[in-house]
Amino acid sequence: MSLDNAFWLAGVVAEAVVLGLLVYRRVWRTLPVFCVYCAWNLFSSAAAYAVFRFFPGSYVKAYLAEMALDSALEFAVLVELAWSVLRPIRASLSRSAFVVVGAFILALGAAIWPFAVIPGFGNLPPEFHVLMRLEQTTSILRVLLFLVLAGFSQLLSIGWRDRELQVATGLGFYSLVSLAVSMLHTHESTGPLYIHLEQIVVASSICSLLYWIFSFAQEEAERQEFTPQMQSFLLAVAGTARATRVALTDSSSAKGRKPREM
């Protein structure tokens, strides 16, 4: 068995174990989108192998479709993780707070988008340009989320036994390796080194899966409440955002009434 086939088989088995643990630990109750994401990864890994072996002419189209859906699910997972971290104060937030969290992450992605270009993109076919930039943007977002959760873990009252930080750690490690390899590809676009670099990316994804297996095999720690200072700060930020939204809505309504009053 070749190394690539061994990696593929190890990845599929690890993904199946992770999905089984998510169901067993009932993680789908708090992180349903992440569970769907893991199920999709398991399905796409098996489907990609089948398409590559039996329908090689359709592999590129299938790969592009898989990349697009994968990036959309990854964005949804990031929004879900950020929202889940706010569990201790969600009862005090408005109904639109979830939309605000999603809009903030979307705006952050839009700010990253112009810089998510790695030299050498111009050598790729046109249909790859947008999807590759989308993949780089989501990778950077995953790394940033991990850094924020790990760096402010004490303020956010989360630890390494909390599912949110466990998920973010696995995604962040794989994304960091993927970004590093993408940069190295600009200096080595063909040859044995290119293949070895891609194998390193696959190996890092397997390491993330093994970390999740170790983490999800254990009971989740009971979620701690935010400190009073952090709770006041987050509620103040949410209040400011809500006040700004209401002011903008009232301003738009006033402008819309002026022509009729004349």
Q: For the chain, give the mean pLDDT.
A: 84
User: Rounded CA gap, 128 and 116, in Å?
Assistant: 14
Summarised one tens digit per residue, pLDDT across range 201-249 is 999 999 999 999 999 999 988 888 887 777 787 777 776 766 565 555 5
Cα of 169 vs its chain's centroid, Å: 11
Q: What percent of the chain has pLDDT over 70?
A: 84
Residue tagged 């952050």 (tokens): 108
pLDDT computed for residue 244 by the predictor = 60
pLDDT grade for 259, boundaries at 50, 70 and 90: low
Residue tagged 């696959």 (tokens): 202
Mean pLDDT, residues 148-176: 92
With vertex at residue 189, the alpha carbon angle to CA 9 and CA 174, rounded to the nearest 5 degrees, is: 45
Mean pLDDT, residues 154-183: 91
Helices marked H in the chain: 3-24, 32-54, 59-85, 97-112, 126-151, 153-156, 163-185, 192-216, 228-261
Q: How far apart are the first and last CA of the chain?
A: 80
Mean pLDDT, residues 29-45: 94
pLDDT computed for residue 81 by the predictor = 95
pLDDT at 16 over 90: yes
The residue ranking higher by pLDDT, 89 or 49, is 89
Residue tagged 């989108």 (tokens): 33
How many residues can be counted in the chain?
262
pLDDT grade for 261, boundaries at 50, 70 and 90: very low
User: Rounded CA gap, 112 and 99, in Å?
Assistant: 20
pLDDT at 3 over 80: yes
Instruction: Report the range of poorest mean pLDDT among 5-9, 180-184, 199-203, 207-211.
Output: 180-184
pLDDT at 188 over 70: no
pLDDT at 117 over 80: no
Instruction: Report the range of poorest mean pLDDT among 26-40, 132-146, 166-180, 228-242.
Output: 228-242
Mean pLDDT, residues 62-73: 86
Task: Return the domain boundaries, the chain.
Answer: 3-225
Extract the tokens encoding 149: 């959760």
219 neighbors 21 (Cβ within 8 angstroms): no
Q: Is residue 127 packed enough to be buried (19+ CB in 10 Å), middle (13-18) or exposed (0-12)?
A: exposed
188 neighbors 197 (Cβ within 8 angstroms): yes
- Sign for the CA dihedral angle at 201, 205, 208, 213 comes to negative
With vertex at residue 240, the alpha carbon angle to CA 237 and CA 243, rounded to the nearest 5 degrees, is: 150
Establish how many alpha carbons lie within 13 A of residue 97's alpha carbon, considering only the half-sphere containing its beta carbon. Answer: 21
Extract the tokens encoding 169: 């750690």
Residue of 182, 86, 173, 172 whose CA lies nearest to 133: 182
